[in-house]
Amino acid sequence: MTRNASIPILTLLAALAAAGAQAQSRIPITAAHIASAINGAGMQITAEQVTLLADVGATEPSPVLVVEQMQPLSGQRLKVRLSCAETAECLPFFVLVRLGQQNGAASAAVTTAAMRADADAKSVVVRAGARATLLLDGAHIHIRIAVVCLESGAAGQTIRVASTDHRQTYMARVVDQAVLRASL
Protein backbone atom coordinates (compact mmCIF):
# COMPACT_ATOMS: atom_id res chain seq x y z
CA MET A 1 0.00 0.00 0.00
CA THR A 2 1.39 3.40 -0.88
CA ARG A 3 1.70 6.24 1.51
CA ASN A 4 -0.89 8.36 -0.33
CA ALA A 5 -3.46 5.54 -0.25
CA SER A 6 -3.16 5.14 3.52
CA ILE A 7 -4.02 8.78 4.29
CA PRO A 8 -7.75 8.45 3.40
CA ILE A 9 -7.96 5.26 5.45
CA LEU A 10 -6.38 6.97 8.47
CA THR A 11 -8.73 9.93 8.03
CA LEU A 12 -11.72 7.57 7.94
CA LEU A 13 -10.52 5.76 11.07
CA ALA A 14 -10.05 9.07 12.90
CA ALA A 15 -13.57 10.18 11.91
CA LEU A 16 -15.05 6.88 13.13
CA ALA A 17 -13.19 7.17 16.45
CA ALA A 18 -14.47 10.75 16.92
CA ALA A 19 -18.05 9.66 16.15
CA GLY A 20 -17.74 6.79 18.63
CA ALA A 21 -16.44 9.15 21.30
CA GLN A 22 -19.39 11.50 20.75
CA ALA A 23 -21.84 8.58 20.97
CA GLN A 24 -20.29 7.55 24.31
CA SER A 25 -20.31 11.08 25.82
CA ARG A 26 -21.96 11.39 29.19
CA ILE A 27 -23.86 14.33 30.63
CA PRO A 28 -22.96 14.92 34.30
CA ILE A 29 -25.64 14.28 36.92
CA THR A 30 -25.59 17.22 39.32
CA ALA A 31 -26.08 17.43 43.07
CA ALA A 32 -29.20 19.52 42.43
CA HIS A 33 -30.68 16.75 40.28
CA ILE A 34 -29.87 14.19 42.99
CA ALA A 35 -31.36 16.39 45.73
CA SER A 36 -34.54 16.71 43.66
CA ALA A 37 -34.81 12.91 43.43
CA ILE A 38 -34.26 12.49 47.18
CA ASN A 39 -36.85 15.22 47.87
CA GLY A 40 -39.27 13.29 45.68
CA ALA A 41 -38.65 10.25 47.89
CA GLY A 42 -39.88 12.20 50.92
CA MET A 43 -36.76 13.69 52.53
CA GLN A 44 -36.27 17.44 52.16
CA ILE A 45 -32.61 18.29 51.47
CA THR A 46 -30.64 20.84 49.47
CA ALA A 47 -27.97 20.29 46.83
CA GLU A 48 -25.33 21.54 49.31
CA GLN A 49 -26.04 18.53 51.54
CA VAL A 50 -25.22 16.06 48.71
CA THR A 51 -21.67 14.77 48.25
CA LEU A 52 -20.99 12.80 45.08
CA LEU A 53 -18.54 9.95 45.67
CA ALA A 54 -17.54 9.84 41.99
CA ASP A 55 -18.25 11.66 38.75
CA VAL A 56 -21.63 10.38 37.60
CA GLY A 57 -22.97 10.75 34.09
CA ALA A 58 -26.00 9.82 32.06
CA THR A 59 -26.79 9.49 28.38
CA GLU A 60 -29.74 11.89 28.72
CA PRO A 61 -29.66 15.49 30.02
CA SER A 62 -32.30 14.95 32.75
CA PRO A 63 -32.73 11.26 33.55
CA VAL A 64 -35.41 10.19 36.01
CA LEU A 65 -33.53 9.14 39.15
CA VAL A 66 -34.86 6.51 41.55
CA VAL A 67 -33.81 6.33 45.21
CA GLU A 68 -33.17 2.63 45.79
CA GLN A 69 -31.80 2.61 49.31
CA MET A 70 -30.97 4.94 52.21
CA GLN A 71 -28.57 3.72 54.85
CA PRO A 72 -27.77 5.77 57.97
CA LEU A 73 -24.10 6.33 58.78
CA SER A 74 -22.49 7.85 61.85
CA GLY A 75 -22.39 11.61 62.26
CA GLN A 76 -25.81 12.55 60.83
CA ARG A 77 -25.01 11.23 57.35
CA LEU A 78 -26.80 8.90 54.96
CA LYS A 79 -25.43 6.73 52.19
CA VAL A 80 -27.99 6.81 49.37
CA ARG A 81 -28.05 4.47 46.38
CA LEU A 82 -29.66 5.91 43.25
CA SER A 83 -30.20 4.64 39.73
CA CYS A 84 -31.88 5.81 36.56
CA ALA A 85 -35.44 4.64 35.96
CA GLU A 86 -34.27 3.62 32.48
CA THR A 87 -31.28 1.38 33.18
CA ALA A 88 -29.64 2.23 29.83
CA GLU A 89 -29.32 5.90 30.83
CA CYS A 90 -26.88 5.47 33.76
CA LEU A 91 -25.31 2.99 36.14
CA PRO A 92 -26.43 2.83 39.80
CA PHE A 93 -24.35 5.07 42.07
CA PHE A 94 -23.97 6.17 45.70
CA VAL A 95 -23.93 9.63 47.28
CA LEU A 96 -23.52 10.87 50.84
CA VAL A 97 -26.12 13.20 52.35
CA ARG A 98 -25.30 15.36 55.37
CA LEU A 99 -28.33 15.82 57.59
CA GLY A 100 -28.96 19.07 59.42
CA GLN A 101 -31.04 19.76 62.50
CA GLN A 102 -34.20 19.95 60.40
CA ASN A 103 -33.50 16.42 59.16
CA GLY A 104 -33.12 14.83 62.63
CA ALA A 105 -36.57 13.24 62.48
CA ALA A 106 -35.81 12.05 58.95
CA SER A 107 -32.64 10.40 60.23
CA ALA A 108 -34.64 8.54 62.88
CA ALA A 109 -37.15 7.46 60.21
CA VAL A 110 -34.35 6.18 57.97
CA THR A 111 -32.83 4.29 60.93
CA THR A 112 -36.22 2.68 61.62
CA ALA A 113 -36.61 1.80 57.93
CA ALA A 114 -33.12 0.27 57.91
CA MET A 115 -34.01 -1.85 60.96
CA ARG A 116 -37.17 -3.06 59.17
CA ALA A 117 -35.14 -3.88 56.06
CA ASP A 118 -32.72 -5.84 58.25
CA ALA A 119 -35.65 -7.82 59.70
CA ASP A 120 -36.87 -8.50 56.14
CA ALA A 121 -33.36 -9.67 55.24
CA LYS A 122 -33.74 -12.45 57.81
CA SER A 123 -36.56 -13.92 55.71
CA VAL A 124 -34.12 -14.25 52.79
CA VAL A 125 -33.67 -17.93 51.92
CA VAL A 126 -30.88 -17.68 49.34
CA ARG A 127 -28.12 -15.09 49.24
CA ALA A 128 -26.35 -13.59 46.25
CA GLY A 129 -23.31 -15.73 45.46
CA ALA A 130 -24.75 -18.92 46.96
CA ARG A 131 -24.78 -22.11 44.91
CA ALA A 132 -28.07 -23.87 44.30
CA THR A 133 -29.82 -26.30 41.96
CA LEU A 134 -32.12 -24.98 39.26
CA LEU A 135 -34.93 -27.31 38.17
CA LEU A 136 -36.03 -26.46 34.62
CA ASP A 137 -39.36 -28.06 33.76
CA GLY A 138 -40.85 -28.35 30.29
CA ALA A 139 -43.66 -30.37 28.72
CA HIS A 140 -41.62 -33.56 28.36
CA ILE A 141 -38.29 -32.63 29.89
CA HIS A 142 -36.86 -31.98 33.35
CA ILE A 143 -33.34 -30.54 33.68
CA ARG A 144 -31.21 -29.99 36.79
CA ILE A 145 -28.52 -27.32 36.54
CA ALA A 146 -25.97 -26.16 39.12
CA VAL A 147 -26.28 -22.37 39.38
CA VAL A 148 -24.98 -19.39 41.30
CA CYS A 149 -27.54 -16.94 42.69
CA LEU A 150 -27.01 -13.41 41.38
CA GLU A 151 -29.54 -11.92 43.82
CA SER A 152 -30.78 -12.68 47.30
CA GLY A 153 -34.36 -13.83 47.60
CA ALA A 154 -37.09 -15.15 49.90
CA ALA A 155 -39.20 -18.25 49.26
CA GLY A 156 -41.56 -17.67 46.32
CA GLN A 157 -39.60 -14.70 45.02
CA THR A 158 -38.18 -14.68 41.47
CA ILE A 159 -34.47 -13.92 41.23
CA ARG A 160 -31.70 -13.99 38.64
CA VAL A 161 -29.29 -16.94 38.64
CA ALA A 162 -26.41 -17.91 36.37
CA SER A 163 -24.77 -21.15 35.33
CA THR A 164 -21.56 -21.83 37.26
CA ASP A 165 -19.50 -20.61 34.30
CA HIS A 166 -21.72 -17.46 34.13
CA ARG A 167 -22.44 -17.97 30.42
CA GLN A 168 -26.22 -18.38 30.85
CA THR A 169 -28.57 -16.45 33.10
CA TYR A 170 -32.06 -17.50 34.15
CA MET A 171 -35.01 -16.09 36.08
CA ALA A 172 -36.00 -18.63 38.73
CA ARG A 173 -38.46 -18.89 41.64
CA VAL A 174 -36.93 -19.65 45.04
CA VAL A 175 -38.22 -22.90 46.55
CA ASP A 176 -35.81 -23.27 49.45
CA GLN A 177 -32.17 -22.55 50.29
CA ALA A 178 -30.81 -24.99 47.72
CA VAL A 179 -33.53 -25.34 45.08
CA LEU A 180 -34.95 -22.94 42.49
CA ARG A 181 -37.53 -23.63 39.74
CA ALA A 182 -38.13 -22.26 36.27
CA SER A 183 -40.13 -23.28 33.22
CA LEU A 184 -38.87 -23.87 29.71
The confidence score (pLDDT) of residue 132 equals 94
Structural domains present in the chain: 27-121 (no CATH), 124-183 (2.30.30.760)
Hey, what amino acid is at 119? Answer: A
Tens of pLDDT, residue by residue, the chain (184 residues): 555 556 666 666 666 555 554 445 789 999 999 999 998 888 889 999 999 988 899 998 889 998 888 888 877 888 898 988 888 888 889 999 998 755 445 555 555 454 444 445 457 888 888 999 999 988 889 999 999 998 888 888 889 899 999 899 899 999 988 899 998 8
Q: How many CB atoms lie within 10 A of CB 132?
A: 22
Handedness of CA 102, 62, 94, 96 (dihedral sign): negative
Beta strands in 30-141 (DSSP E): 50-52, 57-58, 65-73, 77-84, 93-98, 124-126, 131-137
| Dist. CA 179–CA 176, nearest whole Å | 5
Taking the whole predicted model, whether its pTM rises above 0.75 is answered as no
| Dist. CA 79–CA 94, nearest whole Å | 7
